[in-house]
Structure 1
Amino acid sequence: MWANTSSAFTPVGLAFRDPAARKIIRTLGDAARVLMRDWPRNDGDEYTAAVKACVDAISGNLAPEQFREVFLRAVDEAGIVTLNVVQGVRARRPHLPSTVRR
C-alpha cells in the first residue's frame, strides 16, 4: 500500500498557526504524515475526503495531482495558509563591473 508514497506532485507549502510549523508537501508520503500528525482538526468533510484520496493515490487508484486538488480543499477547510513554493530557482549574483568585483 505504501509503495507509491514517493509519488510527487506540484509542491504546496503550508503555514500552520504555530510560526515554527511550516511544511512543504511534495509527495504522497509527506501529505499522509501531515494529515495524520499535524492536521489542526480532523472532523471536516474535506479532511475526510483528503484522507480517503491519499489512500487511493498511494494505492495507485488516483493520480497524485488529483489528490493534490482534494488536499487543497481540505487545507482551505482547516484554515491553513498555503505558501507558494518555487523550485529550481537559484539566486544569481548581480553582474559587477570588473573594477568592483570581489
Structure 2
Amino acid sequence: MVNSVRRAAETLLQRWPIDDGEDFSEAVMACLEGLHNRVPPEDVRAAFIKAAHEANVMVIELVKPACECN
C-alpha cells in the first residue's frame, strides 16, 4: 500500500519491476520534489499512477481525490 510521498519514493526505488521509462523517471523526480515540499502530494500521486500504468502495475484506488464540482 502506498499512502505517502515517502512510501511512493521507496516503492519506485526499491520494489519497482522496471527502472527505466519516461513515466518512471518523471515519477521518481516528482517524489524527490515532493519530499522537499516543492510538488504537492496530488501531483506525486498522479505521476506514480502514470508510472504504474507504464510498468503494467495494477492500481487499486481506495481513496479518490475530492470532487472539483461546481
Greater per-residue helix proportion: 2
Render the CA deviation track for 1:72-91: whole Å, top value 9, x for unaligned: 100000000111326xxxxx
- For 1:94, the equivalent position in structure 2 comes to none
Gaps of 5+ in 1: 1-23, 87-102
Does residue 39 (structure 1) correspond to residue 7 (structure 2)? The answer is no
Gaps of 5+ in 2: 64-70
Q: Distance in 2 between matches of 1:27 and 1:48?
A: 18
- TM-score normalised by the chain length of structure 2: 0.84
Percent of aligned positions that are identical? 30
- TM-score normalised by the chain length of structure 1: 0.59
Q: Distance in 1 between matches of 2:61 and 2:22?
A: 25
- For 1:85, the equivalent position in structure 2 comes to 62
Greater per-residue strand proportion: 1
Matched length: 63
- For 2:2, the equivalent position in structure 1 comes to 25
Which consecutive segments of 4 or more residues in structure 1 shift more than 3 A?
none
SS at 1:81 equivalent: coil
Asked which structure has the greater CA Rg, the reply is: 1
